[in-house]
Chains A and B, each alone.
Chain A
Amino acid sequence: MNRTDESTAAGAPALDYRSETYRDAYSRINAIVLEGEREACANYLALAELLPDHADALKKLSAMENRHFKGFQSCARNLEVTPDDEFARRYFAGLDANFQRAAASGDIAACMVIQALIIECFAIAAYNIYIPVADPFARRVTEGVVKDEYTHLNFGQQWLKDHFEAVRPGIEQANAQNLPIVWRMLGEVEDDAATLQMDKEAIVEDFLIQYGEALSDIGFTTRDVMKMSARGLAAAPRA
């Protein structure tokens, strides 16, 4: 192995945050971040309805998501980018429909899996990968946000753990139904993410680490976790 060659090869060219190319990709990535935060805000309110005992805590989470939404709006303004909201709504349609259906039928476990596990882990992974390559303004915003997302994940994790025996099949089912959607979503924005120097491979790995940790804390064995988290990954479209 040639040391110097390889260490430089691992680096990447500097990003031009003001370039047309960057801002074009940002208009979609920022939009899906905004849509994710907007839905998270609504989803925690829906969960507050379903779990009156936890309503106060859930309303607080919802308020945090609202602040995230505003923070990411200012990131777009800072780069003079108009987020492509239309794209983002289509992007989230599948997951959102599943959440709405679960909420309407009172399936709390599925709601928790979709919002507090899958969406939060997805956000944590994407934000962690984004931070080192973000523009300085967005970096500060994202660093603050990602800390909050960990607390949201913990909330869902704790609730599912407390009810593990009862909700285990529900978790497995929601996992099987929604994880393949996440892989498809990641595939759809792979090129835009790459423009922002966010590696899809790295996001998936970070997601799997976070998600796997959550599942094993909730009560699943390593074997279960490997089975559940690999669900649908191989079938996902690749670049």
Chain B
Amino acid sequence: MFGLIGHLTNLSHAQRVARDLGYDEYACQDLEFWCMAPPQAVDEITITSVTGQVIHGQYVESCFLPEMLAQGKFKTAMRKVLNAMALVQKRGIDITALGGFSSIIFENFSLEKLLNVRDITLDIRRFTTGNTHTAYILSQQVEQGAARYGIDLHRATVAVVGATGDIGSGVCRWLTRHSGPKELLLVARDYERLERLQQELGSGTILPVEEALSRADIVVWVASLNQGMAIDPATLRTPCLLIDGGYPKNMAGALQRPGVYVLDGGMVEHSLDIDWKIMSFLNVPNPARQFFACFAESMLLEFEGLHFNFSWGRNYITVEKMEQIGSLSRKHGFRPLLEISGAGSEPVIQ
């Protein structure tokens, strides 16, 4: 049995999903209520591999919302993640992906020091960040997306926003080793970490985000922003491929300009329909098949009986591990999402 720990993108999104699921008591509540709400196992999932193998899983909503970080409610955020993890462990789930901000919270607040949750001691080997698969899928979106949208990768400049992050650094390693763009632009705030990454890669140019955006043919967005950044499409090159892997999205609002293509980053498409409800609350054209690569990682580990934390910690994602999870991904029928998303904005809402 696999598990997915997820969260919604903001309060109005959460209220809408609660209403759609028929949880009216939750639908009209404010942020303070969500701060007190316990995690809930709200969906049961059945997925079939193209090999014919069938597995089952559960989706646990942690009730965390990125606004909690924006408002400095760090203890609340920590509690949400720990309580959701305790719930999946109590249910005997073998391998669980910590989706979106869950793993970022786990790392940034050193939750590995707080593994005793009431009468349960969390076994972190049963959890994976899913970031190796996400980094692999993003790298594929760069390579295959470039081909599809008429960009010659070897002559292109690729910017990675959030380059020093867990996913971002994995993507940078892959691009340097396999894709060979003309130039790689590294964007984040902490300069020392950027320099260390540059040294490790043996290439790459460190730039502030505005400059990088005006120079890039392809932008991979994987910064941990709890709210989207406003982008002026007029400052972008054309053609330009924007692959937004943030959750919530790194880019605020829709970008309307000919020659500017926006992909839902870090998203996979499965070859067969999946039996679940929860994904229909994301703004994807085909919710029965399209969803987060990090969630898909826990499915892959379950298909293979690999019940351990394949992706864990920060900055350990190697190209070899990306290749390994990539071949499992193809074997079981997943592929990177390549259709342009309806908008560069976050999943619907309001």
* Complex partner residue of A209 from B23, B28, B38, CB under 8 angstroms: B38
CB proximity of B86 to chain A, nearest CB, Å? 8
Contact in complex: A1, B104 (CB < 8 Å): yes
User: Counting CB contacts under 8 A, is A223 at the interface?
Assistant: yes
User: Counting CB contacts under 8 A, is B121 at the interface?
Assistant: no
List chain A residues, Cβ under 8 A from B22: 223
Contact in complex: B40, A199 (CB < 8 Å): no
List chain A residues, Cβ under 8 A from B35: 201, 205
List chain B residues, Cβ under 8 A from A223: 22-23
List chain B residues, Cβ under 8 A from A222: 40-42
B residues 258-284 touching A (CB-CB < 8 Å): none
Chain A binding surface SS class: helix
CB proximity of A103 to chain B, nearest CB, Å? 30
List chain A residues, Cβ under 8 A from B104: 1
List chain B residues, Cβ under 8 A from A7: 108-110
Contact in complex: A234, B33 (CB < 8 Å): yes
User: Counting CB contacts under 8 A, is B72 at the interface?
Assistant: yes
Please, which residue of chain A has its CB at the minimum distance from the CB of B73? A201
List chain A residues, Cβ under 8 A from B74: 6, 9-10
User: Counting CB contacts under 8 A, is B254 at the interface?
Assistant: no
Contact in complex: A201, B108 (CB < 8 Å): no
A residues 1-59 touching B (CB-CB < 8 Å): 1, 3, 6-7, 9-10
A residues 189-211 touching B (CB-CB < 8 Å): 199, 201-202, 204-206, 208-209
User: Counting CB contacts under 8 A, is B83 at the interface?
Assistant: yes
Number of interface residues of A (CB under 8 A): 27
Contact in complex: B38, A3 (CB < 8 Å): no
The answer to whether residues A233 and B40 also contact, given A150-B119, A223-B22 and a CB cut-off of 8 A, is no
List chain A residues, Cβ under 8 A from B235: none
- Complex CA gap A140/B265 in Å reads 50
- Complex CA gap A199/B37 in Å reads 14
Contact in complex: B78, A10 (CB < 8 Å): yes
Please, which residue of chain B has its CB at the minimum distance from the CB of A147? B119
* Complex partner residue of B108 from A1, A208, A230, A233, CB under 8 angstroms: A1
- Complex CA gap A226/B119 in Å reads 22
Contact in complex: B28, A202 (CB < 8 Å): no
Contact in complex: B26, A226 (CB < 8 Å): yes
Contact in complex: B72, A9 (CB < 8 Å): yes
Which residues of A are in contact with B by a Cβ distance under 8 Å?
Answer: 1, 3, 6-7, 9-10, 128, 150, 199, 201-202, 204-206, 208-209, 212, 222-223, 226-227, 229-231, 233-234, 238
Known: A6-B74, A205-B37, A206-B118. 9 other contacts (CB 8 A): A9-B74, A10-B75, A201-B35, A222-B42, A226-B23, A227-B25, A229-B38, A230-B25, A234-B33
Ranked nearest first, the 6 interchain pairs of A and B with the lowest CB-CB distance are A230-B25, A10-B74, A204-B36, A208-B38, A209-B38, A3-B108
Between-chain CB contacts (< 8 Å), 21 pairs: A1-B104, A3-B108, A7-B108, A7-B110, A9-B74, A10-B109, A199-B75, A201-B32, A205-B35, A205-B37, A205-B38, A208-B37, A209-B38, A209-B39, A209-B83, A223-B23, A226-B40, A229-B38, A230-B25, A234-B33, A238-B32
